[in-house]
Chain A
Amino acid sequence: MNGSYYEKYSRTTHLIGRTVSAVALILLVGAPFLIGSILGALPDLGAVAKGFLSVGLIWTISSVVEFLVYTPMLGSGGGYLAFITGNLINMKIPCAMNAREIAGTSSGTPENEIISTLSIAASSLTTITILAIGVILLVPLQPILQSETLQPAFANVVPALFGAMAYQYFRKSIKLACVPLVIMTVLFIFVPSLISQTSIMIIPSGALTIGLAYLMFKKKGSIS
């Protein structure tokens, strides 16, 4: 009985997910035209096309990779929401992984689907709320948030996040972690120009680690 209830839930999730993805897409692409008509100047489509060829193609490729890699982590409900609300790598993905960790669910199960969806929804609402408060209080907040003293703190949000996550994940399998850590460090030391491409370099690093994990798993039955 639970099985058929969950199947129905999944079908509705896809229906709602697809509908809101389409609506959000229309709203986001439509907004510049609407704003343009208020300002009395529609977008220059030629420049948009040129701009797309120069920067958009890279983002298109990385979007495809993001979709393929993150969808299994996020499940269906979480997936639709995360791709609408964005900020995947610096927030949504670690957030959902952390929630799964705390709840102790395993991938591909209905429980995991529920936890991921709850986590992404709560995370998105938090961002929306904080940004809304921030925008309302922009005038008094601006000097505090942009003060020289606090600059280094906010410039290091991502290292702080990945430091904490590193402890959490490396301790699951120190042996496994050593290889990608050493390889990526050596690579970045010898080819520093790749540092600005870190968000793309996570793909080979992740693939390598999954490959090694698979070998360990086949041999020992676990990766720890």
Chain B
Amino acid sequence: MISLLNSMPLYLICGAIILFVAIVCVIFMIRAYRAGIKLGMDKAKLKRTLTSSVTFSVLPSVGILLGVIALSGSLGTPWPWLRLSVIGALHYETQVAQAAAEQVGLKSLSASEMTPVAFSTIALLMSICIMWGMILSFFFNKAYINKLSGKGKKAEADREAGEKAGGETKKAGFGDSAMVAMFIGLVSAYIGSYIGGFVSGEGLFTFKGDLTPIIVAVVSALVMAVFVYFSEKKHLVWLESFSIAGSMLVGMLVAIFV
């Protein structure tokens, strides 16, 4: 069965879909780059966006590759490759694949129990459960973005009116602060979950849970502080593109030694 799941036709089907998505990404990238130049944006800034995004994505991508390897044992290589290259998310795929395996009557997600029906059913369920983001984008992205930018324009008009009247200008720009706040909330939830996991993960207040994520996060934050110091105080601006990736790398290395 596993050799069937690793056969050439499956590689071709999955590879073709991934190629399609890669081409879409290239089209969006070229269009955005050209539009940026037309709008008078600095070429160097656009290039730095590309460099920083690539370096940023390398390590998480290797993590995702591990997800492919983990799932390839039971589902073959091509299907997890497709799932995790396109639309999938690391935490999602494994969970849904497991649940789907239970629904088709497998005891667990394993190659020895896999049948053709089980495989195509699991594959379909993995596709269906996560398709909503695309559907919502298809129907509502335009209206939603237009609504948001309508608000933005109104805020801008308000600000201009305020400036003309020489009055308060501080209401403008809460959008940016809201993004920062959202992110602070998001990061807080994750950091809180690591601390909670250590303190109560193995029973309330037993302090026997995994300490590694906390150490990794702290080390990574400290390294980030060093990067920020050098890029801001010593004006090594180029460092910014590598700061997150560099901090993550050191944090992950520390995990090996604790």
Contact = CB atoms under 8 A, between A and B. Distances in A.
Given A6-B35, A161-B60, A223-B177, A181 B188 contact: yes
Contact of B116 (A25, A41, A170): A41
Contacts, number: 569
Contacts of A160: 59, 216-217, 220, 247-249, 251-252, 255
Given A206-B185, A214-B174, A185 B117 contact: no
Contacts of A40: 116
Chain B binding surface SS class: helix
B162 interface: no
Contacts of B96: 55-56, 59
B112 interface: no
Contacts of A25: 131, 134-135, 138
A67 B221 contact: no
**Which of A64, A113, A132, A135 is the most central at the interface, judged by chain B CB atoms within 10 Å of its CB?**
A135
Contacts of B18: 128, 132
A67 B133 contact: yes
B165 interface: no
Contacts of A44: 104, 117, 120-121
A180 B185 contact: yes
A137 to B, nearest CB: 10
Given A55-B129, A150-B256, A131 B185 contact: no
Given A60-B129, A87-B88, A163-B219, A102 B49 contact: yes
A194 B72 CA distance: 29
B199 interface: yes
A164 B152 contact: no
A123 B48 contact: no
A124 B21 contact: yes
A52 B248 contact: no
B2 interface: no
Nearest to A10: B145
Interface in B1-33: 4, 9-10, 13-14, 17-18, 20-22, 24-29, 31-33
A132 B31 CA distance: 24
Chain A binding surface SS class: helix
A71 to B, nearest CB: 6
A98 B244 contact: yes
Interface string B146-187: 001100100000000000000000100111111111111111
A145 B69 contact: yes
Contacts of A125: 22, 25-26, 29, 54
A131 B84 contact: yes
Given A156-B216, A159-B216, A164 B120 contact: no
B134 A84 contact: yes
Contact of A217 (B62, B124, B177, B188): B177
B185 A209 contact: yes
Contacts of A27: 17, 20
A93 to B, nearest CB: 8
Nearest to A150: B256
A205 B96 CA distance: 25
A152 B256 CA distance: 5
A21 B29 CA distance: 16
A149 B91 CA distance: 22
Interface in A146-167: 146, 149-150, 152-167
Contacts of B175: 106-108
A185 to B, nearest CB: 4
A124 B58 CA distance: 10
B120 A155 contact: no
Contacts of B201: 192, 195
18 contacts: A24-B134, A51-B99, A55-B129, A69-B182, A71-B145, A110-B35, A118-B50, A121-B28, A122-B54, A123-B53, A150-B256, A160-B252, A161-B59, A164-B243, A167-B220, A170-B184, A185-B195, A187-B196
